[in-house]
Structures are given as C-alpha cells and as structure tokens.
Structure 1
Amino acid sequence: MYHRTRHAADNPVRRDADRTRTRLHAAFASACLLAAICGVMVGRAVWHDGSRAAEATAGHRHAVTATTTAATAYVAAPRPASPPLTVAPATWHYPGHRAHTQSVPVPAGTRTGDTVEVWVDDRGDAAPAPPTTSDVAVQAVGYGTGVLSGIVLAAGALVRVCLMTVDARSARAWEAEWADVEPLWSGRLRPGQGAGDD
C-alpha cells in the first residue's frame, strides 16, 4: 500500500537531472502560453490604435478625379521587394476650383487624357490612400505574431541551453558513478587494488 501512495518525486530511480528536465519542459510550456497571451494582447492593442489612426486619417483624405496630362513612366517602389510603380502627371481641382498638377500612381496602360482617381489631403495635394480594415488587420496580426514568435524562440533557446547543461552534468555524474560501480559489478580490479583486497 505504501509504495502506491508515495509521490513520484520520491522515486529512488528518478534523478535530480530528471526533475530538472521536467521543470524546464513545464517552464517552456508556460512560456508558450504566456507568448500566446502577449501576442493576442499586442495584436488587439495594434488593432485598436490602428483603427483609430485609420479613422482619423480617413477624415482628411478625399478621392478626386484627375486627368492625366502626359505619358506614363516607371519609378522605383518605396519598398525594395515591390515592383516599380506606374506614374503619370495629372491635374485635378481641390478644394473648390484650385488646380493641382502632380505625378501620381496610375494603372498600367493609362493614356494621356484618361481620368484616374487620386487621393488628396485637405490642401488638395496628392496623399496616400487611408488605411483599409485589411491593412490594419494585417498589421495587428504581424505584430502579434512577431511578439509570440519572439517569446517562444527566446524561451526555447534558453531551455535548450539549460537542457544541454543538465545533460552534460548528468553524463559526468553517470561516468563517475559507473567508475565506482563497474569494477565491483564486472569483477575487474581497480587500479592499485590487489587480488586479496576487498
């Protein structure tokens, strides 16, 4: 009856290294849970902040119809991995009858005299389009995933280093214990031991 009620930690076969490994695995599982919580919290915060910023930006962006005044050209995209942008000089009126002429992004194949939609700010200057809901969602998911991945990777690396240290110490302990037990178990004499010595 006694052997059934003894706690697993009292198992004489279970070594300190085994207990340490169990604690490290539990710590990594806890870190993964913490990473998920932090990732969700950061993602929600970015979503709320991004939604408010997009709403504020949308209040100062206006879609106007512009007319291209020359042929299209290609310019480098803001991001290195993105394809070149097609731009063309265009003219529009905003606010009121105030005329503006600037090079703006246009669809490929746009010809001189075609009409295109242009986003402008309150002064009528060309400006980026306001962020969409999908833009904000992608940003929120990106930040949340980044935080989650960062915590998991950092915790995994730390636990890995700790496990390697535990394994090295355990191997040295096994070698030392085996050096004491093996001669008795195999009947081989220890160095410096005589045949009549016990």
Structure 2
Amino acid sequence: MFAAATTHRTAASRTSLRQHVRRAVGRDHSPLCRPLDRSYSRLAAVQTLTVLAVLAVAAVAALLAFRIETHTAQQIARHRHVVTAVTTGPAQSDNPRSGTQRDHAAARWTYPAGPGSGRIPVPEGTRTGTAVPIGLDDSGVPVAAPKGTEQIASDAVLIGLGTVSVLAVGTEGAFALRRRALERRADTSWEDAWEQVEPRWTGRR
C-alpha cells in the first residue's frame, strides 16, 4: 500500500508544470491518465498559482508599509524643529532593567512656544553645560528623529517576509490535507485494482 503511494509521488514529482496544467484542464488525452492523476495535477497547478499569489500579496503589503511609514516620517519631519539644549546635569546611564543602554541628562532649552526642560538623550560622558541639539514638535515637546529610508525599507521587508510566512503556513497546511486525501484515494484504488488482478496473476481462485 505504501509502495503504491510512493511510486505515484515519484512519478508526479517528475511531471513538469506545463504537463500538470495540460492535465488539469483536461488536455492530456493519454489513456494512462486517470481521474486521480488529473486531481494531482490540479493540486500542483493551484499550488503554483497560490505561491505566486502569496508573493504578490507580500510584495503589496511591503510596498504599502513602505509608503505609510515614509508618509509618517515626512509628517514628523515637517513638524520637527531642531534647537539647542544646554544640559543642567551630567549624563547618566539608563536603568539596565529598562532594556535601554542610552545615556540621558537633565537639560533646558528655549523655543517660540516657551522655555522647556526635561531629560534628553545625550552621548556618553556628556558634562553639565554642554550644548546638545534636540528635536521639538510644534508645541515644544522633545520628539525622536523620524525613521530614515534604510530603516523604513528594512521594516517593510520584515513585514513582507512576515506576510509570506503566515500565508505560507496556512496554505501549505491546506495543501497537505488535500495531498493526504489524494494519497488515500490512490491507496484505495490500488487495493481495489489488486483485488481484481491478483487472482489472475497468481493463479489463485
């Protein structure tokens, strides 16, 4: 029983995609082509189309993510203003338990919206009274710099790869179930045929 399934898979694996397509649409008129073979070919053709569709969806998702993040970065840059802050204390390392390794220092700055103060990120070893450029939004609140093109592209690639992974797992699971069903049909067909041929082949009545 297992030999029959293995033999069928080996033969199917040598069939080209073009042959699968011809067989799937009923253009293979070979007398050796069984309905079960057409079912395998339809599965192979649909699986190929699904792979292309998954890649297309992932590409669209990555492109949309790139455009959205680029637009967001442009909006942040449009409302971000660089001013000079003066530190009022030395740089201090963040708490290691917070998961960050940057240094911050207390600082003051002036802006048309009014004077401001707070802790800002600074280079390691920054001393009191050091001038440090910082970015402020329209209301004078410190904001981080917008993402650069490289980081945006990297995020978009990760989103595309994540989309491929999620869709691939789902579709491959569905195709695996279909293949198993076809293999069970192949085993059943082989056993039925063997029950008819075996008595004549072995001479047993």
What TM-score range do you get, normalising by the shorter chain?
0.7 to 0.9
Q: What is the deviation of 1:39?
A: 2.1
What stretches of structure 2 of length at least 5 have no aligned partner? Answer: 1-25
Partner of 2:197: 181
Partner of 1:134: 150
Q: Which has the higher helix share?
A: 2
Q: Please say if residues 39 and 144 of structure 1, whose CA atoms lie closer than 8 Å, have aligned partners that are also in contact.
A: yes
Alignment TM-score, normalising by the size of structure 1: 0.77
Which of 1 and 2 has greater Rg?
Answer: 1
- The Cα offsets for residues 133-154 of structure 1, whole Å up to 9 and x where unpaired, read as 2232223223333333333332
Q: Give the secondary structure class of the aligned counterpart of 2:133.
A: strand
Alignment counterpart, residue 92 of structure 1, candidates 95, 102, 109: 109
Q: What is the deviation of 1:89?
A: 1.5
Alignment counterpart, residue 74 of structure 1, candidates 72, 80, 94: 94
Q: What is the deviation of 1:83?
A: 4.1
- The Cα offsets for residues 171-192 of structure 1, whole Å up to 9 and x where unpaired, read as 1221222122112211233xxx
Partner of 2:45: 26
Q: How does 1:1-198 map to 2 (within 5 A)?
A: 9-71=28-90, 72-75=92-95, 83-95=100-112, 98-189=114-205
Whole-angstrom distance in 2 between the partners of 1:146 and 1:111: 44
Q: Please say if residues 93 and 101 of structure 2, whose CA atoms lie closer than 8 Å, have aligned partners that are also in contact.
A: no
- The Cα offsets for residues 66-116 of structure 1, whole Å up to 9 and x where unpaired, read as 2222231314698xxx643322222221237x3221112222333333332
RMSD of Structure 2 on Structure 1 (CA) = 2.4
What stretches of structure 1 of length at least 5 have no aligned partner? Answer: 1-6, 190-198
Aligned-pair identity (%) = 30
- Larger deviation, residues 68-77 vs 32-41: 68-77
Matched to 1:107, the amino acid is P
